[in-house]
């Protein structure tokens, strides 16, 4: 059950491949959103200039809300967003099968890296999961993507409408007012892009994790469980850092980190002795310890990860390492571990 340097290299390569997959999706989605807003900009700009021309210092909300040209622009925005959502779903779905197959391949490589080498006269045949099980993962992930993206258009258009109707202080320069409103409205429009990219990253990662879980279930005779692995850098959140290295049963899904999380599942084999191999020296485990890694950081790096209050509470021993993560339950998505709010940590410490 020793995680070797080779294991860690394979896991790092897997993360890089997944990152490339999701980055490619983000590029496609961003290009689509930028092109869409460019097509909508003239509609909103002309509607606002027409509305503001000769207007008093402040327009009543009802006047703005009833303006036909603005309403037409908002209807076009909704139609555009519906089209963007369909396109985003297609972009995400096209990569789900690749992610699942990559998970199976990575699982087998990670397991083999922990077993006696062929040179020692030992050979292992790893079982592959049934194709229908992998198809079911893709189907489930596709359903999740559609459910998560379905309300996107209505939510974005409502935010845009609220921005436009909450009151316009015209003053002396209608064009400047229109410019500022356009910028704010574009910000709400791009909130849909942020949500779409979050769905893409999260569902791709979860599909990959389910692929790993399914592959592991086909080889339970070799495995003792899996470890939660976070990315050890200054961007790591306290929750993920505290979960790093924790061990879970083979058939348990995970890691259930927060949305846009970067954590990974590392399947762990049984010890060579448990597998029946004696007289062969098993290598030392090289899986890094999160607390040791954190304690070796500079204060600036600790501060970047924890923030001042968490950092001090931890240094004082007022909270435990495990207190940094809190399980959040969600019917709309899935349960996930997120960083414990500072106020809750202060309550623990008091």
- The string of pLDDT tens digits covering residues 213-263 is 999 999 999 999 999 999 999 999 999 999 999 999 999 999 999 988 889
Structure tokens, 90: 């297609």
Does pLDDT of 120 surpass 70?
A: no
Does pLDDT of 119 surpass 50?
A: no
Return the minimum-mean-pLDDT range out of 86-95, 120-129, 168-177: 168-177
Mean pLDDT of the region 20-28: 94
Structure tokens, 109: 């490589």
Mean pLDDT, the chain, integer: 90
How does pLDDT run across 41-71, given as a tens digit for each residue? 999 988 888 887 766 666 677 777 788 888 9
Task: Say what the pLDDT of residue 41 is.
Answer: 94
| C-alpha separations of 286 from 3, 6, 50, 99, 108 in Å | 6, 10, 67, 27, 19
Task: Say what the pLDDT of residue 176 is.
Answer: 78
Task: Say what the pLDDT of residue 123 is.
Answer: 65
The dihedral through the CA atoms of 208, 141, 256, 306 has a sign that is positive
Between helix 299-316 and helix 342-349 the angle, nearest 10°, is 40
Task: Say what the pLDDT of residue 269 is.
Answer: 94
d(CA 196, CA 204): 12
Task: Please provide residue 169's backbone torsions phi and psi, each rounded to the nearest 5 degrees.
Answer: -90, 110
pTM: 0.88
Q: In the structure, what pLDDT confidence band is assigned to residue 20 with cuts at 50, 70 and 90? A: very high
d(CA 342, CA 310): 7
Task: Say what the pLDDT of residue 3 is.
Answer: 93
SS3 label, residue 245: coil
Mean pLDDT of the region 91-119: 90
Does pLDDT of 168 surpass 90?
A: no
d(CA 172, CA 2): 72
- Count CA within 13 A, CB hemisphere, residue 306: 24
Residue for token pair 């062969």: 280
Residue 36 host element (H or E): helix 5-52
How does pLDDT run across 276-331, given as a tens digit for each residue? 887 788 889 999 999 999 999 999 999 999 999 999 999 999 999 999 999 999 88
Between helix 5-52 and helix 68-112 the angle, nearest 10°, is 180
């Amino acid at each position: 059950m020793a995680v070797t340097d080779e294991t860690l290299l394979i896991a790092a390569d897997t993360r890089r491949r997944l990152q490339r997959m999701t980055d490619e999706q983000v590029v496609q989605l961003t290009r689509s959103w930028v092109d869409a807003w460019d097509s909508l900009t003239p509609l909103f700009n002309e509607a606002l200039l027409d509305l503001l021309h000769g207007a008093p210092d402040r327009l009543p909300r009802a006047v703005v809300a009833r303006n036909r040209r603005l309403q037409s622009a908002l209807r076009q925005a909704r139609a555009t967003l519906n089209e963007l959502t369909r396109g985003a779903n297609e972009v995400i779905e096209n990569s789900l099968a690749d992610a699942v197959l990559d998970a199976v391949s990575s699982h087998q490589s990670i397991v083999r890296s922990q077993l006696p080498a062929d040179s020692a006269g030992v050979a292992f045949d790893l079982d592959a999961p049934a194709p229908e099980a992998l198809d079911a993962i893709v189907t489930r992930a596709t359903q999740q993507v559609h459910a998560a993206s379905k309300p996107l258009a209505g939510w974005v258009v409502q935010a845009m409408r609220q921005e436009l109707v909450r009151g316009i202080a015209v003053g002396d320069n209608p064009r400047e007012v229109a410019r500022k409103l356009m910028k704010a409205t574009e910000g709400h429009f791009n909130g849909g892009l942020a949500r779409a990219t979050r769905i893409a990253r999260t569902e791709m990662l979860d599909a990959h994790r389910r692929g790993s879980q399914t592959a592991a279930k086909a080889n339970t005779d070799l495995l003792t469980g899996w470890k939660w692995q976070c990315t050890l850098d200054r961007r790591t959140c306290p929750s993920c850092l505290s979960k790093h290295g924790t061990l879970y049963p083979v058939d348990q899904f995970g890691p259930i980190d927060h949305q846009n999380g970067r954590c990974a599942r590392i399947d762990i084999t049984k010890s060579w002795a448990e597998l029946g191999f004696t007289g062969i020296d098993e290598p030392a485990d090289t899986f890094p310890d999160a607390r040791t890694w954190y304690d070796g950081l500079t204060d600036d790096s600790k501060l970047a990860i924890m923030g001042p209050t968490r950092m001090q509470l931890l240094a004082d021993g007022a909270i435990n390492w495990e207190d940094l993560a809190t399980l959040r339950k969600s019917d709309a998505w899935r349960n996930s571990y997120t960083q414990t709010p500072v106020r809750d940590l202060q309550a623990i410490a008091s």
